[in-house]
Amino acid sequence: MPLFEYRCESCGHRFEALVYGAMKPVCPKCDGKDLEKQLSTFATAVGAASGRGDSCSYRTSAGSCSASGGG
């Protein structure tokens, strides 16, 4: 069940739609079928987002790693 983001060419409305198989979504605002698929931003892991690439589950305000999450 991929979730895609679309922009309706008719009314400009942006929305997300779950797309099953060959299903073609329509605009929920104007029922338009002329849709442009948008690039989506995706979530990243904390280590990857910080560029550190480590497996630290919690960082203190100073940026050091704390395995317990207690600080």
Please give the distance of CA 68 from its chain centroid, rounded to a whole number.
28
How many domains does the chain divide into? Answer: 1
Strand ranges inside the chain, DSSP E: 3-8, 14-18, 35-38
- What is the model's pTM? 0.54
Domain assignment present for 47: no
Above 60 in pLDDT, residue 5?
yes
Query: What confidence tens digit (pLDDT) does each residue in 17-55 have?
Result: 998 888 899 999 999 999 999 987 665 555 555 555 555
**pLDDT given at position 47:** 53
The CA distance from 35 to 39, in Å, is 13
Q: Is residue 54 part of a domain?
A: no
Angle at 43 between CA 8 and CA 52, to 5 degrees: 145
Flag whether 15 is in a domain: yes
Q: What is the pLDDT of residue 62?
A: 63
What's residue 39's pLDDT?
82
Angle at 64 between CA 63 and CA 68, to 5 degrees: 120
Domain extent at residue 8: 3-38
28, part of any domain: yes
Residue 66 lies in a domain: no
